Amino acid sequence: EAQVTQNPRYLITVTGKKLTVTCSQNMNHEYMSWYRQDPGLGLRQIYYSMNVEVTDKGDVPEGYKVSRKEKRNFPLILESPSPNQTSLYFCASRGLNGNNQPQHFGDGTRLSIL
Amino acid sequence: RKEVEQDPGPFNVPEGATVAFNCTYSNSASQSFFWYRQDCRKEPKLLMSVYSSGNEDGRFTAQLNRASQYISLLIRDSKLSDSATYLCAVRPMLNAGGTSYGKLTFGQGTILTVHP
């Protein structure tokens, strides 16, 4: 089954404790992306990656890091989480052939930073 | 002006009603258009792509108006199960070679509640 898998689904942690949210896709997609979703602000892109070892900032990259060492994986790293990073996070992927390739989303990760 | 704007609603309609949402975009280079559906606390799921000539999928019809830079979604014969948030998304094409690299930008979403 084609899917995007995120882990963990839920996490409550404390300020300053480094955490990583993993994202894996089995569709051989080149493009992967991280979003956060907050009430009233919609989905905002944090980082994206066009392919292995190619990453770039989205609209709200501050406080986040990513890496793309393998095509299937695109982890999101919060080196020193702060309460304003409490949010619902989505990883997404898509192929790059053709004009109308939609994005496929993971189930989401709800982070609470205390 | 936001890149993509939607009326957040909420829209409260009875079962069987026809409801329409609009979504305006500011980037005239936008080439790919989508409607997603998102249930509460779940991931967005693709409802349908929007093609230049307009397209229909069952009770759902999507249209594109390039001149006025908006897309629309029409839902006929609303069902209780249609209650959700509907997100529009647009993306420019930056590569004329047939691949599409541009960022997908989402609207804030329109909340629809269908009641008995």
Distance from CA of A95 to the nearest CA of B (A): 9
Say which amino acid occupies B3: E
A61 interfaces chain B, CB cutoff of 8 Å: no
- The predicted pLDDT at position B30 comes to 82
Binary contact (A50, B34; C-beta < 8 A):
no
Phi-psi region of A48 (alpha: psi -120 to 50; beta: other; left: phi over 0): beta
Query: How far is CA B28 from its chain centroid?
Result: 17
Question: pLDDT digits over A32-55, tens only?
Answer: 999 999 988 889 999 999 899 999
Contacts of A99 in chain B (CB under 8 A): 31-32, 93, 98, 100
Contacts of A45 in chain B (CB under 8 A): 103-105
Does residue A30 surpass a pLDDT of 60?
yes
Average pLDDT of the segment spanning A77-92: 97
Task: Name the residue facing B49 among A43, A45, A100 (closest C-beta).
Answer: A100
Q: Is the dihedral of CA B10, B11, B15, B21 positive or negative?
A: negative
